[in-house]
Amino acid sequence: MPITTSDHPPLPLPLPQLPEWAAFVAAAKAASIRVNDLRLVTAAGLQLDLSGQSQSPAMSACAKALLNTRHFDSLRTQLLAGQVANATENRAAWHTALREPAPIDEVAAERRRMNEFVRLADSERRWRNIVHIGIGGSDWGVRLAVSAFGYQGMWRNVRFVANIDGHAIAGGLAGLDPRDTLIVLASKSFTTAETLQNGQRAVEWLRAAGVANPMGQVVAITARPEVARAWGVPDAHIFKLWDWVGGRFSVWSSVSLTTSLAVGSEVVAGMLAGAAAMDAHFAQAPAAENAPIQMAMAGIVNRSVLGYGSLNIAPYDFRLANLVPYIQQLEMESLGKSTGLDGQPASVPTGPAVWGMPGTDAQHTFFQWLHQGSDGAPVDFIVCQEAEHDWPEHHKSLLANCLAQREALLRGKTYETALDECVAEGMPMDRARWLARHRVHTGGRPSNLIVLPSLTPYTLGSLLALYEHKVFVQAVVWGINPFDQWGVEYGKVLAKGIMKELSADNAAENRASHHDASTAHWVKAFAKSLGV
Ligand code: F6P
């Protein structure tokens, strides 16, 4: 069990009240991207190149002072020791305990149960089909690992169903043999409407196919085993996670049962080891060489000093397509807050919108906006030095594209260079002057380059933990709680109310009385089309 304590550092003051913040902002404004200075940090098998970020010795000194005044060291210690880090829900956020090389007994016991379940299923060649039902943190991490390591195909068919849209579960079950299908329900709370409704449909599908014991083909992973039990899942099929593991951090728990069934328990073990190595780096490396800290401070400059509203994630690796939504949830559910821990409005812009797509697809989709749009966005380029396929020409092109896009964003192209090019192409001078303006790249657009030696479970685990810790550092500086998600909860409550209004047993005259005009209109219209 995590240790709890009321021994918190004082509530963080709004940033503008801190001289350390004013000094950091001034230093960041005076700093610049120094294209001729290489700035590399190595961490847990990854190389983080920060050369594309503003830097100066003054900025580093001010960052250190800012972290000190935010009690960063003691907050990091509390986080890693499983003390209360999530103040608004009064609980720990102890996902790091799940990847400790020598985990606490209850974690080790659950992992043994999971591995044994997989070993047995594999030795009996059971469960040709797996339907993993879960959403958000109960989905993205597993999807990411399975697509990263199972992209060449797996002997099991693995389907993911998250969305409440009935087409998702219809497609998820279509064509599968119900007798050899395992339904994995992943839900920390076991109250999530999407997961329970989709789970219900899957059980009905098993029953309709004449499966004698449908619940014998259902597995649940949850922090509320009693609710799963009441739902009918047999004890032997309930795998536990804990209240002190946030939903968006649950990839490190038995939620990864599906990963093990799909691509092997050794993949899960490798991811845990990589994440543990990043945890150790985060805990021990001095600030100037600490990858999560350095990445976090660069992100704070980009968001809160330079005013960039978004962060683009560009994995130059087809296998990492699902990294984008994974990081989206991690960053935006964690940092999408505008109330500080002191209960006052956060006084500087906090977490950016996160978006992206693997390169090189992204180059043909939205990179034009990154290069020449009026806003631009910092970009995290992520690439593997070695590829696993047999076509070195492809990998050479991928690497070249990644470096080229980053360099173009960094260095830009001046009017003079563009004009010289136009003239060299033989254009008349008038046209050359006019066209050159269209070919100018502002440049100076910030980026990170994260280089993995190759994509392995270890490096993927390390990469995910890098982002987790970066998010934590940013939350400490911004003075917000990265571990709650009250905004999402509010939408869930409203949806429940509207569900009732769309139900036949609700009196029509009570319907929609408290809504805004538009919602009221559509509740009535949809009730009509639903025949209510
Ligand atoms: O999106 C809100 C959220 O609570 C996430 O934090 C979580 O990952 C997801 O819903 C699913 O929750 P659960 O695992 O409890 O079904």
> Do residues 133 and 185 make contact, with C-beta atoms less than 8 angstroms apart?
yes
Domain boundaries, the chain: 18-71+285-410+445-478, 100-271, 412-442, 486-529
The ligand 1 atom at the shortest distance from the C-alpha of residue 223 is 15
Distance separating alpha carbons of residues 251 and 37, to the nearest angstrom: 37
Whose Cα sits closest to atom 6 in ligand 1?
247
E-state strands within 347-459: 353-356, 379-384, 447-452
- Of the candidates 474, 395, 529, 500, the one whose C-alpha atom is nearest the C-alpha of residue 72 is 474
- Model's pTM, two decimal places? 0.95
Number of residues that make up the chain: 532
Q: Has the ipTM of the complex gone over 0.90?
A: yes
Which superfamily, per CATH, for 18-71+285-410+445-478? Glucose-6-phosphate isomerase like protein; domain 1 (3.40.50.10490)
Displacement of CA 331 from its chain's centroid (Å): 6
pLDDT at 98 over 80: yes
Q: Strands 218-222 and 238-240, how do they pair? A: parallel
pLDDT at 12 over 90: no
pLDDT bracket for residue 4 (50, 70, 90) = very low
- Of the candidates 237, 238, 217, 239, the one whose C-alpha atom is nearest the C-alpha of residue 127 is 217
Contacts of 246 (CB under 8 A, 6+ apart): 86, 93, 95, 137, 483
pLDDT at 506 over 70: no
- What's the mean pLDDT when you consider all of the chain? 95
Displacement of CA 231 from its chain's centroid (Å): 30
**Conformational region of residue 104, where left means phi above 0, alpha means psi within -120 to 50, and beta covers everything else:** beta
> Do residues 458 and 277 make contact, with C-beta atoms less than 8 angstroms apart?
yes
- 515/508: higher pLDDT: 515
Whose Cα sits closest to atom 9 in ligand 1?
136
118 Cα–ligand 1 center, Å: 25
pLDDT score recorded for residue 495: 85
pLDDT at 142 over 50: yes
140 Cα–ligand 1 center, Å: 11
Distance separating alpha carbons of residues 157 and 523, to the nearest angstrom: 39
DSSP 11: P
187 Cα–ligand 1 center, Å: 7
pLDDT score recorded for residue 501: 87
Distance separating alpha carbons of residues 82 and 59, to the nearest angstrom: 31
pLDDT bracket for residue 387 (50, 70, 90) = very high
462 Cα–ligand 1 center, Å: 23
Whose Cα sits closest to atom 10 in ligand 1?
136
User: What type of residue is 196?
Assistant: L
Task: Give the tens place of pLDDT for each residue, 389-436.
Answer: 999 999 999 999 999 999 999 999 999 999 999 999 999 999 999 999
Distance separating alpha carbons of residues 49 and 42, to the nearest angstrom: 9
pLDDT score recorded for residue 2: 46
pLDDT at 29 over 90: yes
- 15/505: higher pLDDT: 15
Pocket test for ligand 1, best of 187, 191, 192, 333 (most atoms within 8 A of CB): 192
Per-residue tokens: 152: 């060449």
Mean pLDDT of 265-284: 98
From 131-145, 153-167, 501-515, the region with the lowest mean pLDDT: 501-515
In DSSP notation, 466-525 reads HHHHHHHHHHHHHT--TT--HHHHHHHHHHHHHHHHTSTTS-GGGTTTTS-HHHHHHHHH
pLDDT at 333 over 70: yes
The ligand 1 atom at the shortest distance from the C-alpha of residue 492 is 2
Mean pLDDT of 110-137: 97
Distance separating alpha carbons of residues 384 and 317, to the nearest angstrom: 7
pLDDT bracket for residue 493 (50, 70, 90) = confident
pLDDT at 86 over 50: yes
pLDDT score recorded for residue 532: 84
Helix, strand, coil percentages for the chain (3-state, nearest 5): 55, 15, 30
pLDDT score recorded for residue 231: 97
pLDDT bracket for residue 77 (50, 70, 90) = very high
- 71/495: higher pLDDT: 71
pLDDT at 307 over 70: yes
Q: Do domains 18-71+285-410+445-478 and 100-271 have the same CATH topology?
A: yes
Whose Cα sits closest to atom 2 in ligand 1?
488
Whose Cα sits closest to atom 8 in ligand 1?
137
pLDDT at 85 over 80: yes
Instruction: Provide residues with CB under 6 Å of ligand 1.
Output: 135-138, 187-189, 192, 195, 247-248, 333, 485, 488
> Do residues 118 and 184 make contact, with C-beta atoms less than 8 angstroms apart?
no
Distance separating alpha carbons of residues 512 and 198, to the nearest angstrom: 27
Mean pLDDT of 205-230: 97
The ligand 1 atom at the shortest distance from the C-alpha of residue 246 is 6
Q: What are the beta bridge partners of residue 447?
A: 379
Mean pLDDT of 517-532: 90
pLDDT score recorded for residue 3: 44
pLDDT score recorded for residue 323: 98
134 Cα–ligand 1 center, Å: 8
Sign of CA dihedral 336, 339, 340, 341: negative
Q: From the CB of residue 288, how many other CB atoms can be counted at a distance below 10 Å? A: 12
Displacement of CA 196 from its chain's centroid (Å): 23
Which CATH class, in words, describes the domain spanning 100-271?
A: alpha beta
Could you list the active site residues?
A: 333, 364, 492
* Buried residues in 315-330 as b, exposed as e (16+ CB within 10 A): bbbbbbbbbbbbbbbb
The ligand 1 atom at the shortest distance from the C-alpha of residue 195 is 16
310 Cα–ligand 1 center, Å: 23
Distances in Å between the Cα of 328 and the Cα atoms of 78, 121, 177, 312 are 25, 33, 34, 10
Task: Give the tens place of pLDDT for each residue, 145-178.
Answer: 999 999 999 999 999 999 999 999 999 999 999 9
Mean pLDDT of 441-446: 93
The ligand 1 atom at the shortest distance from the C-alpha of residue 189 is 15
What is the share, in percent, of the chain residues with pLDDT greater than 70? 96
